[in-house]
Amino acid sequence: MKNLITLICLLSITIVVPAKPAQLTATAWERCMLKAEASAKDEGIAGAEIAVINQCGARPLNESHMQNPVKQAPYDVLRSKHWKNSFKRVLGAKYDEFVAASRVSDHDGVKLVDKWMVGEASGAPGHGNSGDSIIFLIESQSKRIYAAASLSGQIFRFGFNQKSQNIPIMLTDWIKGLE
**Residue 79 and residue 26 share a domain:** no
The answer to whether residue 127 scores a pLDDT higher than 50 is no
One domain, residues 55 and 73: no
Q: Cα separation of 149 and 23, whole Å? A: 29
Q: How many CA atoms lie within 13 A of 62 on its CB side?
A: 10
pLDDT of 131 above 50: yes
Domain limits for position 101 = 68-179
At 34-46, the pLDDT tens digits run: 888 888 877 776 6
CA-based end-to-end distance of the chain: 72
| CA nearest to 143, candidates 62, 67, 65 | 67
Q: What is the pLDDT of residues 110-121, one digit of tens each?
A: 999 999 999 998
Is residue 7 a part of any domain in this protein?
Answer: no
Domain count, the chain: 2
Mean pLDDT for the chain overall? 79
Residue 14 has pLDDT above 70, yes or no: no
**pLDDT score of 121:** 86
- Whether 51 is covered by a domain: the verdict is yes
